[in-house]
Chain A
Amino acid sequence: MNNPQLNTNGELTHLMSIEGLPQAIITQILDTAASFMEVSARDVKKVPLLRGKSVFNLFFENSTRTRTTFEIAAKRLSADVINLDINKSSASKGETLLDTIDNLCAMHANLFVVRHASSGAPYLIAEHLQRIGRDDVHVVNAGDGRHAHPTQGLLDMYTIRHYKKGFTQLRVAIVGDILHSRVARSDIHALTTLGVPEVRAIGPETLLPKHLDKLGVHVFHDMDEGLKDCDVIIMLRLQNERMTGALLPSAGEYFRHYGLTPQKLALAKADAIVMHPGPMNRGVEIHSAVADGPQAVILPQVTFGIAVRMAVMSIVAGN
């Protein structure tokens, strides 16, 4: 089975998932992002790498934050950015996903940034582009169902590398609703590919996917035990709809067992960093004293995210 995100030279042509990415490509993206950090600090925050190219933000699912950071990143690369909120346009008129893609290709799109509620949707688009012979059009997954959110995974790696200077001595805990989280899956693949010796998943059985151990993850149900001696803690957002079924009894009970409080944070290493992909639910998965505390690196994550997305877009469009 060919890895559909690499071209015949083994270069990144689409970014769909961290899974299957060689370590060298992840490192290339992080290094490229580091070089773009300086651009964001300039008065004129632009480089001409994607000048004349059209980037289409195709959001089949609502997201303000991710779309905005992709938009900023594309603009800093001097691309033309077109935002399409599909919920409100074609899909409601019965146009299929691939019809939409064909139409946008006819408008000379160069890169699609895709957010979709169904796992695997970007693969369908990439396969279609290959079928119609459009190797020049690239796809970046901005989150598909529960499957993957690779740019979030990469910006998390950037953040970890920035603060911890490496990966091979770390103990990283991912806490919360891993079952429904595309961020968690991308983080797990990135961390294991980059050689993190111990990746932990902490949560109740109802929020953990089956056979997580097969992905190289150590599962903990007890948060105190799971946080012990960790260098990095990645908190996940708990969506309110998880409380409507039988997954969890209440936000309160969840917070008592899996919310990150200053007391729980104290069990990790003294210099541990706390990350969160946002948006946060204060008092549900994270205590405000931690979210606003000295160990939180949640806002730097957002800043790094722009550089990482610039790196991804410039690399795929350059290949």
Chain B
Amino acid sequence: MNIEIKNGRVIDPKNGVDRNTSLFIADGKIAALDDAPAGFVAEQIIDATGCVVCPGLIDLGARLNSIEAELAAAVAGGVTSVVVPPDADPPLDEPELADRLVHRAKEIAKARVLPLGALTLGLKGERLAELAGLKKAGCVAFSQANVPMIDTEALLRAMEYAATFGFAVWLQPQDYWLSRNGIAHEGEVASRLGLAGIPVAAESIAIATIVQLVRETGCRVHLTRLSSADGVALVKAASDEGLPVTCDIGVHHLLLTDNDIGYFNPHARFSPPLRTESDRQALSTAAASGLAAICSDHTPVGADEKLLPFGEAKAGATGLEVLLPLTLKWAEAAGVALPAALARITSAPAEVLGLQRGQLAVGAAADVCVFDPAAIWQLTPEALKSRGKNSPWTGYLLNGKVRKTLVGGRAVYTG
């Protein structure tokens, strides 16, 4: 179908576009910008007056507990590609499981699903999963989700093996021993509330180990969900050294600190934990400077699993439908211009994945998000399509509402 999106502010961070103009879509691809290609007859016109037209968001981490609802939530949040960590039940450690997930996502035909295969069987950190088989079934990289690798030799071998085939390994840097008993950042707040602490060293030690193994193996590594200033500094040093290391930050960590735990608010429990204001500032700088991509770390948790004392409540928050508004909120607070902010959730994740997505270049797949940056909505359980209603922002007013989401030139959401 030929679609014209007109009167919008087209922002394509990757190609330096930011102007009020028209976008033309044909055969599921971007056909032209500004002027219609020869012979183009629009079958559908989308009036984007007052809206931003940008590449569909790419979320580097979203758990899809109930795939149909969560993929509907994705497109409602303007997310057109979702990277799914392998810590499902059962863990995604066999090609058939990846096959099934990819197939199911195609049937649902909302957002694109990019599965991460389990690096080790059952995420146990012992025996390697069939990486090549998983790759063939559609896995884009290999990961332990947020399960730490205890055995450093197993990690070294896994990285060597992945490097053999040119596969990327995604790791959430967290030392097992220093994090296994903790439930909050080891600092003033945890001391006051009597919560077992997870020191920053849990992250920095893991990063130091991983970076050294990258030097040894040449394996391409993406570090997920950084939480600390020390962690950011180590990744920056590795990146400056020219090592193939990238990283991302969960959007909640750009806005919240351990102080937000308040009186034991279980919605402020995250893995890795929220840390201090100076950590938050370092994360914000890392995102603003382009060192880190931003992701939702979408983790739907049932109400019963949050209505528990802080230390027993499950970690994580719903994210797919708040990734865009929270990124806008962060950008405004951090003084980051809109195109640069959108780059962190479009072109930057595409680069991490090595995909030609997250842009509106002619010939690229027409994954497009049209949103009204000034629209205000209240986050309530009813406002979310996701089954995960768990959010520290429940009741808050958020800026930025998605009006239209296209995947491959097909409208999959209208708001």
Contacts and interface: CB of A to CB of B under 8 A. Distances in A.
Interface stretch (A47-55, A104-112, A205-213, A281-289): A205-213
A118 B188 contact: no
Contacts of B148: none
A124 interface: yes
Nearest to B181: A245
A242 B266 CA distance: 28
B263 A119 contact: no
Interface string B373-405: 000000000000000000000000000000000
A148 interface: yes
Contacts of A96: 304, 307-308
Contacts of B195: 119-120, 145-147
Contact of B188 (A98, A120, A147, A211): A211
B176 to A, nearest CB: 15
B188 A214 contact: yes
B167 interface: no
Interface in B262-291: 262-264, 266
Most B-side CB within 10 Å, residue of A96, A148, A210: A210
A120 B191 contact: no
Contacts of A124: 264, 266, 307-309
A45 to B, nearest CB: 34
Contact of B309 (A116, A211, A212): A116
Contacts of B188: 210-211, 214
Main secondary structure of the interface of B (DSSP, over half): loop
Contacts of A119: 193-195, 264, 309-311
A11 interface: no
Contacts of A215: 191-192
B312 A118 contact: yes
A121 interface: yes
A120 B262 CA distance: 11
Interface in B168-196: 186-188, 190-196
Interface in A130-145: 144-145
A19 interface: yes
B197 interface: yes
B299 to A, nearest CB: 20
A210 B197 contact: yes
Contact of B191 (A1, A98, A123, A212): A212
A22 interface: no
Interface in A116-175: 116, 118-121, 123-124, 128, 144-148
B191 A147 contact: no
A276 interface: no
A173 B304 CA distance: 42
A211 B189 CA distance: 9
A118 B307 contact: no
A4 interface: yes
B307 A98 contact: yes
Contacts of A121: 309
| Among B193, B266, B309: residue with most chain A CB under 10 A | B309
Interface centre among A119, A128, A146 (most CB of B within 10 A): A119
A97 B191 contact: no
Contacts of B194: 119, 144-148, 182, 185
A118 B191 contact: no
B304 A118 contact: no
A300 to B, nearest CB: 27
Given A1-B262, A215-B191, A145 B307 contact: no
Interface in A251-266: none
B310 A120 contact: yes
Contacts of A128: 307
B308 A97 contact: yes
A43 to B, nearest CB: 42
Interface in B196-222: 196-197
Contacts of A97: 308-309
Interface residues of A, number: 27
Q: Which of A124, A148, A215 has the most CB of B within 10 A?
A: A124
Contacts, number: 73
Contacts of B197: 209-210
A146 B195 CA distance: 7
B42 to A, nearest CB: 52
Contacts of A123: 263-264
A128 B311 CA distance: 17
Contacts of A212: 191
Contacts of A209: 190-191, 197
B191 A211 contact: yes
Nearest to B305: A96
Given A185-B194, A215-B192, A210 B308 contact: no
Nearest to B197: A210
Given A1-B263, A185-B194, A210 B309 contact: no
Nearest to B304: A96
B280 to A, nearest CB: 17
Contacts of B311: 118-120, 145
Contacts of A98: 307
A120 B263 contact: yes
A214 B309 CA distance: 25
Interface in B312-337: 312
Contacts of A120: 193, 195, 263-264, 309-311
A21 B260 CA distance: 20
A211 B310 contact: no
Contact of B263 (A4, A145, A214): A4
Interface in B234-268: 262-264, 266
A35 B161 CA distance: 75
Given A121-B309, A123-B264, A147 B193 contact: yes
A299 B140 CA distance: 67
Interface in A188-215: 209-212, 214-215
B53 to A, nearest CB: 40
Nearest to A4: B263
Contact of A210 (B187, B304, B310, B312): B187
A116 B307 CA distance: 15
Given A119-B311, A121-B309, A145-B311, A19 B304 contact: no
A211 B187 contact: yes
7 contacts: A1-B263, A19-B192, A98-B307, A119-B193, A124-B307, A146-B195, A211-B187
Given A144-B309, A209-B190, A214-B192, 9 more contacts: A96-B307, A119-B193, A119-B311, A121-B309, A124-B308, A145-B194, A146-B196, A185-B192, A185-B194
